Amino acid sequence: MIKMRKRAAGFLIFRRLNSQIEYLLLKASYGNYHWTPPKGHVDPGEDDFTTALRETREEAGYSADDLKIYKDEQKILNYKVKGKNKTVVYWLAELKDGHNNPTLSDEHTEFRWLPKDEAISLSGYADFAQMVQYFHDRIGKL
């Protein structure tokens, strides 16, 4: 029997405000109340990118019109959740209006815009840290 890997997708959203780059993290209203970018499970028949758009609209209130999405800037994380394999695909996206704060769904209780090191520290996950650092380095070349 082949074990299915759970799949999710989302965007690492950043903004440029007061000549600083900040990343959006949302605090989950469930489990261990972890902090992550907007993301969610891929529905049957849905592709990863469509999932990322849907979940970002549902969880943060941002549509594709609110974001400059860098479709060529993608990072895939693989890890275990409660003993099950999970794959999450993230794309890099810039919020066009840096003053436009998210509108949270009931899946999250708080949001924070944070500089790179603070976002990494708040998340607490090594693979997340590597992804943010990778994208942060890429932003300087966009």
The dihedral over CA atoms of 108, 10, 21, 23, expressed in degrees to the nearest 10, equals: 20
Q: Which residues, 6 or more positions from 64, have their beta carbon under 8 angstroms from its beta carbon?
A: 53
CATH of the domain at 133: 3.90.79.10
Print the domain residue range for 135: 6-139
Question: pTM value?
Answer: 0.93
CB 116 within 8 A of CB 21: yes
Q: How far apart are CA 91 and CA 96, in angstroms?
A: 15
Q: Would you state the pLDDT for residue 1?
A: 46
pLDDT tens-digit map of 31-40: 889 999 999 9
Asked if the structure places residue 1 within a domain, the reply is: no
Over residues 65-79, the pLDDT tens digits come to: 999 999 999 999 998
Q: Look at the chain and report how many structural domains it folds into.
A: 1
